[in-house]
Structures are given as structure tokens and as C-alpha cells.
Amino acid sequence: MEEMFLPLQLESKIDDLSFELYDPTSDSVVEKKLSDYQDKWIVFVFYPADFTFVCPTELKDLGKVQEKIKAQNGELFVVSTDTVFSHKRRVETEKLLEGF
């Protein structure tokens, strides 16, 4: 019998992944690892791609709760399949994402 994939659950342990992210506060591309956020809650929000019909108002609403997440010892990651350069361009051109 083939093994079934079990989805991640709250407090699941995952491998120490490394990734690049675009940090709009410093306007730079930063390399990070999940272990950089050890002992923090990590919230991942996935969306299909930059410059699609995904409404930027939903992403902007995440910005409203981002400080609350940080106040609870958490970090918010908004994830898509795009490059960091695409993320940078989207932040630069989408007025609703200013300050996010």
C-alpha cells in the first residue's frame, strides 16, 4: 500500500529551508533560513503569482494584522512562485501595497 501524504499541522516540525526574500523596508534581497526564526510562530500565506487577478486588497489586509502577529512572537511570510525581482516590482507599482 502506498504511503499517504500527511499535511502539516499546527506545531509541525519542518526541515531548515533556505530562501531569498524581498524586504521592501530595506529595498533589498535577503537570504534567510527557517532557523533564523527559531522559537517564533511562522505564518505562511500563499497566493498564485504577482500581477494576477489576486486582489491586492487581501494582501493589504494582511498588512493590518502583521503587527499583531509580530506582537505575538510571530513572522508573516507571503509566498508565491515568483522571483524576488517580481515581488519588488509589484510592491513598487501597486499603490495598495505601499507600506506592506
10 catalytic? Reply is no
Q: 55, 73, 79, 98: which is the annotated catalytic residue?
A: 55
For residue 98, give the C-alpha cell.
Answer: 505601499
Could you give the C-alpha distances from 55 to 28, 49, 78, 89, 99, in angstroms and in order?
A: 24, 11, 14, 16, 16
For residue 65, give the amino acid letter.
V
Active-site residue set: 55
